Structure 1
Amino acid sequence: MPQSKPGRHYNIPAWLRARHPEPVQDDPRICPPQIPGQLGLFPTPARQFSRTHAARISDRNIPGFEAVREQLRQMADERRVRARTVWIWRLEGFARLALAARDPDQHQVAAEALKDLLYNGPILGRALERAALLAPPLTRRVVPPRGTGPTRQGGQRDPELRGQCAHCLAWANDRRVLCVPCTSWCYELRKRGASEAECDRCHRTLMLSGGMCRMCRIVVAETEVDTAQVAMENGDQLWFARPHAAGLAVGRLLPGTAALQGRFALKRRRARARAEGARRLSEHLLHADQLELFPAPPRDWTRLDTTRPPALTPAAAHLLTDFTTYMRERGWNTDFFSGSIRTLRIVTGHLGTDAPIQERDIRALASMSPSLQGARVLNYSRLRGLLETQPTGDPSIARARHHASTISQPAFSAAVHTYIDVLLGQGSTPSRARSPKTVENYVAALLDTLEAWITDGHTDPREITKKHIEDALDPLRGDRARRLHTALRSLFRALKREHLVFRDPARSISLTTSRSVPPALPSDRIAGLLDRLDDPRDTPMVALVAIYALLPGQLVHLLRTDLDHSKGRLRLRRAGRMDHLIYLDAFTMRLATAWELHRHHRWPDSSNPHLFVTRNTAVDDSGPPISAGVVQHLFQRIGLPAGRLHVDRIVDEARHSADPVRLMELFGLSNLSATRYVLSAHPDKKNGPIAP
């Protein structure tokens, strides 16, 4: 062999090692083998193993060692350990020591023995646990250390309490009056200014925290989560050498008494895991192949204990995991949307995932508590095809129906219901449906007049004549007269078409009113309008109103496909009329492009088709538009109503051009509205060729 040099290591070839085998390394002085099944006479002393001890029993045949070695190899692969061979070799030695140090009557390694393995105890404990060779930790009361403690009042020691703490009754095997923890307890409370008082549980006069002494808090905390299955119902610690306390409230458990960290937190986690494993599948799981015999009433979720849902089926567990992944991919913080996860957990736990989930079940469950949320659960279920939607009614139509039902005369009430059907396009003759808000406004405008006719003794709409309508319109002026006149003409026209009246009494009634266009806004209120905004969404909205005179309702329903970047134009969709094309200038196009880039950066996977979104509508897969309140709130912040700004832009253009055709092309106005704006801007042209 070559001569060894300092600082260098030579590997011995395998063929040479085979000719000169090393002696068997099994030192009987290191963890000597014992007779299996023999009980230990003395407790195991404190010790500390090292690599040298492991090398001296490297050839010993130890039961269970191969199982631990296999788990160490799997853990090395799972953790992608770089120095795999050295890592396994080092831990195998300590695994031999842990298995060799077992008591003769124990098959598993005690959890308390892991502290003897230096810093390798936690990872070896994991390997032993995976190999089913780690015993659960024992629950023991720690004995306070020996020493001298404070005396009782008057400096006299109680002979009945020798070796026992006077407060927590812990045995210390010495002549202490108070153990170290109770001494620290009293010191901290006195430092905060507390004084002795009667305990609410044991009725002793001691230092209290939360109305209980230290011993009572320990007992309550220990029995709050009983993972070791050792707590007795209505039981307590024995009071040796003292009279029994008959007044103990032993059946009283106060949740939250135990500390939030430390061993009590570990006990809570183990209790939750044990309760999760003991749960059973729900008895109400839905099956896709089961036919519905009759329509079932809505489920009453208030009768269920939503705090402990049943166990999940494999499909439901996979769905819950996919829902969490879906939320993370959307960029949402799952800590703030735990209510959505809890809602899906409860619904799928009780009903399963084989059959579609009804939308009303999710909404009913989410309405039970503020900690339950259903909006994102509905979107996700709809996206995965697991939602059975329910027909949704428009709130405006619901209010209009309610108004019609409150009319005291049945004939008038039935006529108004028929009128609502006609406005919605559901009459005997097909017609274009009006918007729900228009239907509500028409019905609300009619209520007072109909009730007045009923008070006068009329019982049927066929009794109403032209004179009745004129009398109703006579005391009204302005917008109130115009709204009632429009609603009455619409009502009797619909009733005549449905053959509920013989003639239309409102057909020949005209209302002469003067509509004055509001004056232009002062220039100082409009100057610097866009400079007050810092949101990329607000600037294009204000620009479209101030430059192109769009209305808030038109901004709400703009789609992303309506904006053509290549041609620089915006398509304005109008129900029942031709679309209006708006050619945008370079400034407005820059604002719209900046908003599109900001939206894509903040919500890259948003599927909402509308041009303007909020943080709620952007992540809603149903694609709802923003509410009109968002636009109104924007113009309230800048101090200019959107309607006034809309009129001011048209008046300003009419003042410069005086051409109604140009107003019709720019703003999509009707010929009558365009003429009215021109005449308002140029009063001298009222008798000219454009006069109506």
Structure 2
Amino acid sequence: MPVTRAGVCGPCLLAARLGEDDPWVWAELHDEALAPGRPRQLTLEIEGITLPEARAVRMPQAKAGRRYNVPSWLRARFPEPVQDDPRICPPQVPGQLGLFPTPARQFSRTHAARITDRSISGFEAVAEQLRLMADERRVRARTVWIWRLEGFARLALAARDPDQQQVAAQALDDLLYSGPVLGQALDRAGLLAPAPSRRLVAPRRTGPTRRSGQQDPERRGQCDHCLAWANDRRVLCGACTNWCFTIRQRGGSEAECSRCHRNLLLSGGMCRRCRIVIAETETDTAQIAMKGGDQLWIARPHAGLATAGVLPDAAPRQGRFAHKRRRARAQAEVQRRLSEHLLDPAQLELFPAPPRDWTRLDTTRPPALTAAAADLVADFITYMRGRGWNTDSFSGSVRTLRIVTGHLGAEVPIQETDIRALASMRTTLHGPRVVNYLRLRGLLEAQQPSDPCIARARQHASTVSHPAFAAALHAFIDVLLGQGSTSSRPRSPKTVENYVVAVLPTLEAWTADGLTDPRQITKKHIEAALDPLTGDQARRLHTSLRSLFRALKRERLIFRDPARGVSLTVSRPLPAALPSDRLAGLLDKVDDPRDRLMAALVAVYALLPGQLVRLLRTDLDRSKGRLRLRRPGRMDHLVYLDAFTLRLATAWELQRHRRWPDSSNPHFFVTRNTAVDDSGPPISAGVVQKTFERLGLRAGALRVDRIYDEARHSADPVRLMELFGLSNLAATRYVLSAHPEKKNGPIAP
């Protein structure tokens, strides 16, 4: 049979390619001998099916010392061993301090090849910088250049001290001729430690000490303090002489400078020269700052350099330094460019884009504003001043609008999610007033409103282990929200969440018992679930299950309602009065007119907390002394206010007009956040709850006490219905609780 140059026939090569003889392939790659007679599998040629190409595992050497070219499919089947020699820069415990200084050493490419597969922190950042440098320098042999420097980068990063995250500058000398280039890559990646601070040693003198400013015949005009050169032979220049005189008058003495480490007279921990250098290079408009060194200058004794205001505790900067800062700000303003992400109104949206990630944005230097964006920011400031707001207090809102319009422009409506995401990054950025302003100008793309209670109810429904019960819960939520197949009055979001939370453990228990469909639930299952419960827990579960199966029956997801015939006998607590000592001086405990009015409406007229939240400004008619209570699904209830409550309402209206004269919120009670919100949201229930927490009472208990007190004095259910808008059953229950002797009378249930 004909064989190839490698001495192997075609069928054997085909069998090796198909993975039928891996031991022979391993022996062939490692020059090992095997016994003759390899097993073979017959191969069928079928039309339309192509067999893999039968290539040799390796070809014989063409030249001495030449490496074999192993195919990629064979390399994947027999990977090379991991290259991580623990003897080369062995890994150390992070954070541990070194006991001995690192000795001088020389690394080579051989050392780098022995740790090729080691995982080293920071290597990817350095490798990325090397690739960018190769593109910038237009390296011809780009792959070889990067491969060689990546090996030395591994060595430099692996040789770091365990207590250091950056590579020391003196460690670059160990990398032969690759040190300068690799040092630049490490510096650009932020992994090169700064060079150690240099120490300036003053020249020693022999003989008697001269006074400040006295000439030295052996000197050539260099000041010992500021190192300035002049055409004289003075020990100190005139400016440094005055400096020393002033410091000594203040009781100063020589000490080591915190910057140059020379023993000189100091002010604020630094000598005069260091303070001058910091003042000159803080705003380097003249480009005189040097990395790792200081610029010398020629100065005569009368050329004084003011250093006031260099330190934080000194006087404000004036003169040349203030002028340099103004120049720097002007140059930065000119160099600012327009954003590359401006929205184009002519560009159509192909698909909805995901929310933008503003966390990586540098908000300290926003891009330049377009003409439309600048006009919008100016109009926003005018709008705030027209509303009577202090623009200094709301600078965070201006900054937020400037950043958003700087990056996205003002030609296209801005998404509300972008503004809220940006405002959530820092406490110095505010978003609600920007959202309201853009909504008024028609430049806001509002986000879809979502209620947190409904979102939690949906999440609970999705966590049900069996999909049939999960789908039933989602259909139940749709019915409660009025979104079922038949329209109905929607329930409050909190009620929806309470119903779902109540039935969730029962559905999980039925799933554990092997029930896989709501149609399998019978009356016995519901009675068994209610049997171990008592009190409010039993009543809550009973109500939730009845509502659930009634909704499923209406949606035709079950054939019959198993909870329809289940009754529950529970004891209802009778209304009770509060102790008189807890009600004494109730309104004296609060000073705010809004809180006093809330407490009066609950304590005198028995309003519910939800009714306080929904009250509108048009519901109060002070001329007739009436307050309208809107009740969804029922007739409105009119409350006739007394003179005392009307005075409290007037005091609250005056305070609201004084604090927020331009508030457009239609609700009667507002807070400092809802008053300036042009969308007109109501206050939260937590505001009412916190008001009564300061009083030490619950609003519900105070309301029950008021109705109970009226029932004790009148004993007339009709009067309770007229005063407080109660149902006939609720009014009868209050009367029977206040007068137990009438249980067998004409109003007995």
Normalized against structure 1, the TM-score is what? 0.72
Partner of 1:503: 560
**Cα deviation digits, residues 517-561 of structure 1 (max 9, x gap):** 242112222122222222111121111001100011111111101
**Cα deviation digits, residues 477-497 of structure 1 (max 9, x gap):** 211111111111111111111
**Structure 1 residue 186 displacement after superposition:** 8.9
**Cα deviation digits, residues 2-60 of structure 1 (max 9, x gap):** xxxxxxxxxxxxxxxxxxxxxxxxxxxxxxxxxxxxxxxxxxxxxxxxxxxxxxxxxxx
- Out of 197, 201, 209, which is 1:155 matched to? 209
- Out of 235, 238, 254, which is 2:296 matched to? 238
Partner of 1:393: 450
User: Per the alignment, in what secondary structure is the counterpart of residue 582 of structure 1?
Assistant: strand
Q: Aligned partners of 1:265, 1:395: CA distance in 2, in Å?
A: 52
Q: Aligned partners of 1:194, 1:474: CA distance in 2, in Å?
A: 89
Q: Aligned partners of 1:412, 1:188: CA distance in 2, in Å?
A: 84
Q: Aligned partners of 2:560, 2:554: CA distance in 1, in Å?
A: 10
User: Unpaired runs of 5+ in structure 1?
Assistant: 1-150, 242-253
Letter in 2 for 1:261: R
Cα contact 1:359–1:378 (8 A) shared by 2? yes
Partner of 1:362: 419
1:523-602 mapped onto 2 (5 Å cutoff): 523-602=580-659
Letter in 1 for 2:596: T
1:613-692 mapped onto 2 (5 Å cutoff): 613-692=670-749
Cα contact 2:603–2:703 (8 A) shared by 1? yes
Partner of 1:449: 506
**Cα deviation digits, residues 419-446 of structure 1 (max 9, x gap):** 1111111111111111111111111111
1:255-404 mapped onto 2 (5 Å cutoff): 261-262=317-318, 263-404=320-461
Cα contact 2:252–2:265 (8 A) shared by 1? no
Cα contact 1:442–1:487 (8 A) shared by 2? yes
**Structure 1 residue 589 displacement after superposition:** 1.1
**Cα deviation digits, residues 187-233 of structure 1 (max 9, x gap):** 65996888622544x34344566765432332233222123455566
Q: Aligned partners of 1:462, 1:452: CA distance in 2, in Å?
A: 16
Q: Aligned partners of 1:177, 1:418: CA distance in 2, in Å?
A: 90
**Cα deviation digits, residues 86-140 of structure 1 (max 9, x gap):** xxxxxxxxxxxxxxxxxxxxxxxxxxxxxxxxxxxxxxxxxxxxxxxxxxxxxxx
1:197 aligns with 2:260: no
**Structure 1 residue 256 displacement after superposition:** 7.8
Q: Given the superposition, is the C-alpha separation of residues 654 and 160 from structure 1 closer, same or farther in structure 2, using an over 3 Å criterion?
A: farther
**Structure 1 residue 681 displacement after superposition:** 0.6
Cα contact 2:626–2:638 (8 A) shared by 1? yes
User: Per the alignment, in what secondary structure is the counterpart of residue 537 of structure 1?
Assistant: helix
Letter in 2 for 1:197: E
Q: Which moved more, 1:496-505 or 1:431-440?
A: 496-505
Aligned residues: 529
User: Per the alignment, in what secondary structure is the counterpart of residue 581 of structure 1?
Assistant: strand
- Out of 550, 572, 584, which is 1:493 matched to? 550
User: Per the alignment, in what secondary structure is the counterpart of residue 301 of structure 1?
Assistant: coil
**Structure 1 residue 331 displacement after superposition:** 2.9
Q: Aligned partners of 1:352, 1:153: CA distance in 2, in Å?
A: 73
Q: Aligned partners of 1:493, 1:154: CA distance in 2, in Å?
A: 109
Q: Aligned partners of 1:230, 1:508: CA distance in 2, in Å?
A: 92
**Structure 1 residue 584 displacement after superposition:** 1.1
User: Unpaired runs of 5+ in structure 2?
Assistant: 1-204, 300-309
Cα contact 2:230–2:298 (8 A) shared by 1? no
Q: Aligned partners of 1:209, 1:466: CA distance in 2, in Å?
A: 89
- Out of 222, 238, 253, which is 2:280 matched to? 222
Letter in 2 for 1:217: R
Q: Aligned partners of 2:535, 2:583: CA distance in 1, in Å?
A: 29
**Structure 1 residue 382 displacement after superposition:** 0.9
Q: Given the superposition, is the C-alpha separation of residues 240 and 402 from structure 1 closer, same or farther in structure 2, using an over 3 Å criterion?
A: same
Q: Given the superposition, is the C-alpha separation of residues 287 and 259 from structure 1 closer, same or farther in structure 2, using an over 3 Å criterion?
A: farther
Letter in 1 for 2:317: Q
Partner of 2:42: none
Q: Aligned partners of 1:516, 1:192: CA distance in 2, in Å?
A: 82
Q: Aligned partners of 2:401, 2:221: CA distance in 1, in Å?
A: 56
Q: Aligned partners of 1:393, 1:534: CA distance in 2, in Å?
A: 35
Q: Aligned partners of 2:323, 2:271: CA distance in 1, in Å?
A: 24
User: Per the alignment, in what secondary structure is the counterpart of residue 593 of structure 2?
Assistant: coil
Cα contact 2:285–2:327 (8 A) shared by 1? yes
Q: Given the superposition, is the C-alpha separation of residues 601 and 227 from structure 1 closer, same or farther in structure 2, using an over 3 Å criterion?
A: same
Q: Given the superposition, is the C-alpha separation of residues 509 and 348 from structure 1 closer, same or farther in structure 2, using an over 3 Å criterion?
A: same
- Out of 222, 225, 237, which is 1:167 matched to? 225
Q: Given the superposition, is the C-alpha separation of residues 507 and 187 from structure 1 closer, same or farther in structure 2, using an over 3 Å criterion?
A: farther
Give me the identity figure in percent. Answer: 75
Q: Aligned partners of 2:322, 2:609: CA distance in 1, in Å?
A: 55
Q: Which moved more, 1:221-230 or 1:531-540?
A: 221-230
Q: Aligned partners of 2:208, 2:473: CA distance in 1, in Å?
A: 92
Q: Aligned partners of 2:381, 2:261: CA distance in 1, in Å?
A: 50
User: Per the alignment, in what secondary structure is the counterpart of residue 678 of structure 2?
Assistant: coil
Q: Aligned partners of 2:701, 2:495: CA distance in 1, in Å?
A: 21
